[in-house]
Amino acid sequence: MTELPTSVSIREVGPRDGLQNEEPIPTDAKVKLLDALSRTGVRRIEAVSFVHPKAIPQMADADEVWQRAGKVDGVRYSALVPNTRGAQRALAAGFTEIEVVVSASDTHNRRNVNRSTEESLDDIAELIALLHDAGATAEVIVATSFGCPYEGDVDPTRVAAIVDRVVRDGADRVAFGDTTGMGTPRRVRELVTAVRDRNAQVPVLLHFHNTRGTALANMLTAMELGVTEFDASVGGLGGCPYAPGASGNLATEEAVHMLHDMGIETGIDLDALIEAAELAEYLLDKKLPSGVLRAGPRTRLTPRPS
């Protein structure tokens, strides 16, 4: 039997990745959600992204959200940036953990930022140097790591080669995004193995979408391979513009519910997390796809008939 980790670190990405794919909500609502999540015991939160408001109007108030948020001691907050200008804004706001994205699929990268993957990697090399000079860490997120909505399957060796490049350029960490939920346990095993064979020392985080219902299975497979860091989004917030009608990210409360029942620690209070998911549902005025939000934890019993 494969030995599983005793603890797992979850980065809550609902305030950024989740909300970025939803209809815009008021700044007050974003601050409320961020503060509620900060009180759940989660130790890492992706708070905002510093992008041009014309590109992502949902994040137009990122500076104000971050300024007004109640930062909780012991919680590590990070920001996503698309370029040098975004990195400068994130640094000015006080962030010391910063993420940048590149797509393994050249077509997806061109659709996203109007340049090739190789051109983006050249820019990222300069961005890593800028962040390090400012005392910040740089995480490179490789989108479409498990498949592309335009090109189909993505060869794990291509992703591993991108990791080779960003590690050589000084990236502190790497993450792999299942952008449209094309990942399966087999593909997770192939990708993690390909990367680890060439860069065993680099910290790895996985970001799964539940588009086709495989997110928890993918997470379990990754844990069997020794991965202990994952992204998840409260209530399953989010989605992808390239997968219309699809469900969003792996729901944080679904991941925590499974992990705790397996005896794997997260440091997160599941009841508080479900309350935060209920708040997210209220603030967005829509039903979110999380099964644990709908049914509650397995410990919630139905009263016996009298």
Domain annotation covers residue 272: yes
| Closest by CA position to 191, among listed 166, 170, 174 | 174
Is residue 305 in some structural domain? no
The answer to whether residue 42 sits within a structural domain is: yes
CATH of residue 229: 3.20.20.70
pLDDT reported for residue 189? 98
Query: Quick one: average pLDDT of 60-66?
Result: 98
| CA pair distance 57, 92, nearest whole angstrom | 21
Question: What is the C-alpha separation between 48 and 248, in angstroms, rounded?
Answer: 17
Whether 302 is covered by a domain: the verdict is no
Q: Which domain holds residue 35?
A: 9-295
Percentage helix, strand, coil, to 5, in the chain? 45, 15, 40
Q: What is the pLDDT of residues 80-108, one digit of tens each?
A: 999 999 999 999 999 999 999 999 999 99
Question: What's the average model confidence in pLDDT over 274-303?
Answer: 92
pLDDT attached to residue 127: 98
pLDDT at residue 298, as a whole number: 87
Give the mean model confidence (pLDDT) for residues 190-212: 96
- Any catalytic annotation for residue 240? yes
Question: Is 2 part of any domain?
Answer: no
Region 282-298 average pLDDT:
94
Structure confidence at residue 246 (pLDDT): 66
SS3 label, residue 269 = coil
Residue 304 lies in a domain: no
Supply the pLDDT for residue 227. 98
Mean pLDDT of 125-132: 98
Instruction: Count the domains in the chain.
Output: 1
Specify if 303 maps to a domain. Answer: no
**Of all helices (H) and strands (E), which one includes residue 253?**
helix 252-261
Three-state secondary-structure class, residue 242: coil
Taking residues 204-224, what's their average pLDDT? 97
Residue 15 lies in a domain: yes
Q: What's the whole-model pTM score?
A: 0.96
Q: What is the mean pLDDT of residues 179-189?
A: 95
CA distance 47 to 31: 10
If one counts every other C-beta atom within 10 angstroms of the C-beta of residue 171, the result is 24
Query: Which parts of the chain are beta strand (E)?
Result: 9-12, 44-49, 76-81, 97-103, 137-143, 173-177, 204-207, 229-232
Q: Which of 65, 204, 240, 293 is catalytic?
A: 240
Q: Mean pLDDT across the stretch 30-35? A: 98
pLDDT band (50, 70, 90) for residue 299: confident
